[in-house]
Structure 1
């Protein structure tokens, strides 16, 4: 969102980045802001929305090798506008940031790319769809995609095939993030089957699994008293899925939201207070790596645990992101993203 995805604090101008994730609550004067009752148009909305301040294309995947070893994979492209004006070449106000990662039970490999818009180094086109930064790319027609990225210690080349419909969070894609009404446009494709090869220091590993792609854009997605979030994308053994997030507030309270997704893609949105996420254990850096997640309306009461507790993204603004297991009333796997932790 992811709000997750909201990780685009990483793409804010330097002044806002200095504030960490709280920078997502800064004023959006001059930029377009999301409004209720959105009318999405595809394939156009798979592309960029330059009149909004921040946006991302955010994919995570749970993978497994032939020997049963679990892996996690991330590919993300963030867009941030320095100003609401338009321009060409070096005067274009768009900044781009890419994150890629592979998580194993023992290691977490991370890479980051930075680019300026308008000079061809990074960008997104809607039709045909392609998102790229340098030689990293996500391209295809959204029913089938190819994804590539590499870092100093890893590389991957993956093929994705959609096996279900797009999912719209909140009120038909209008996702409220605070009691004050800050919001984003937010939809996902959580039904990707994925396969390909990871290139790791120990050698190439063939993997298969499922992937979740988030699309989100806004200009002020957080309130000024919100400092970070905990975001869950969970895929259960019975084919159902859930997206849920908890936004941290300076008064010690949290704002929550969730979407329940049936195996055939029917959705039920849940507003603030329906979802509860409670930390159960932390790693050595005092970041929660085991959670109790409850959604009583669906009979959900599960423990979400990190496969690798040290999945720390050592990027411009650091955060935690990695694959998880799910046990309790529902078994499954998923991904967890946490920001606002030092």
Structure 2
């Protein structure tokens, strides 16, 4: 669902910008009422390339990329790139410094035993950050995710760049596979109370390029995953955080699943099984057995970094392990996010609210 997450961080930062206290309900206020914004309802017909661009009527949205990378020596790397658009209030967007939009960028490179992360914050309307559908480009300062010049199809040939004090990456992402609509034809429920987002992915990217860590450059390649979501109220007030997986199986399938945790100890669990041709099947709670096995102490918190995942109907029985257990995003709102590995594949895991 990636509620892609961290819009949570953005929302709290937004609250600070707007001098309004963050709501006490739900994780990072994501369950607060948003009646003045456009609502997510079933039955949307997606339109591309328009839906690659921003959706100003909604309160929050994000462009989110992860990649599981390897160099020629077999060393494992991961990168994350996320841009959030956050509306401070409903209504028409104003030009210049009067714009009621805040943009937040997160980037990370988590090679064990290190974990490097950085964030950028920008006010909308002045060109420092933004997104456009044609030609596709999403950027904040000099971080960007953009269609290569001359590419015939949006999201088929992309460049991804970001840097921090101790890391940088420059990757080319290519795919000739179809986009995947998550949930019910892109309508992705997040609770039994009806909270939802519009959500699609490109899970079939192949990444090639360079990752720089502490001044040393590595040539890397591997699978990458794009998530696109937008909503106005993606959580219920009783929900405290989430565990989100995107997995690339060596046998050709892809798997997205998430569990949104509740204050009473329960959770909303769902996912999407994607076959090698890009056809999808929605997975429900009864289809998935997800159990944390091992916890790691990080920053005074107990974080589940090793999981058992079983989907009997798909003959899947794996144990995912963090490539770097200390992949802690110590940013405005801290959370865990990093690459995972398992027998038969690799993927990414994000965990918030711990």
Shift in alpha-carbon separation, 1:173–1:19, aligned structure 2, 3 A: same
Look up the match of 2:44.
38
- Work out the CA distance in 2 between the residues paired with 1:148 and 1:301: 35
Look up the match of 2:150.
none
- Work out the CA distance in 2 between the residues paired with 1:17 and 1:147: 34
Q: CA RMSD in A?
A: 1.3
Picking from 323, 326, 331, the partner of 1:315 is 331
- Work out the CA distance in 2 between the residues paired with 1:225 and 1:138: 34
What are structure 2's unaligned runs of at least 5 residues? 16-20, 148-153
Alignment of 1:184 onto 2:192: no
Question: What TM-score comes out, normalization by structure 2 length?
Answer: 0.93
Look up the match of 2:303.
287
Aligned partners of 1:20 and 1:340 also within 8 Å: no
Superposition deviation, residue 295 in structure 1: 1.7
Alignment of 1:9 onto 2:19: no
Question: What TM-score comes out, normalization by structure 1 length?
Answer: 0.96
Alignment of 1:69 onto 2:75: yes
Alignment of 1:26 onto 2:32: yes
Picking from 215, 219, 237, the partner of 2:232 is 219
Aligned partners of 1:163 and 1:193 also within 8 Å: no
Aligned partners of 1:82 and 1:94 also within 8 Å: yes
- Work out the CA distance in 2 between the residues paired with 1:138 and 1:123: 11
What are structure 1's unaligned runs of at least 5 residues? none
Q: How big is each residue's C-alpha offset from its partner over 1:153-182, in whole Å with a ceiling of 9 and x where there is no partner?
A: 011111010141100111000001101011
Superposition deviation, residue 2 in structure 1: 1.5
1:198-217 matches, cutoff 5 A: 198-201=211-214, 203-217=216-230
Look up the match of 1:115.
122
Q: How big is each residue's C-alpha offset from its partner over 1:17-43, in whole Å with a ceiling of 9 and x where there is no partner?
A: 776734110101200111101111110
Look up the match of 1:251.
264
- Work out the CA distance in 1 between the residues paired with 2:201 and 2:290: 21
- Work out the CA distance in 2 between the residues paired with 1:100 and 1:94: 20
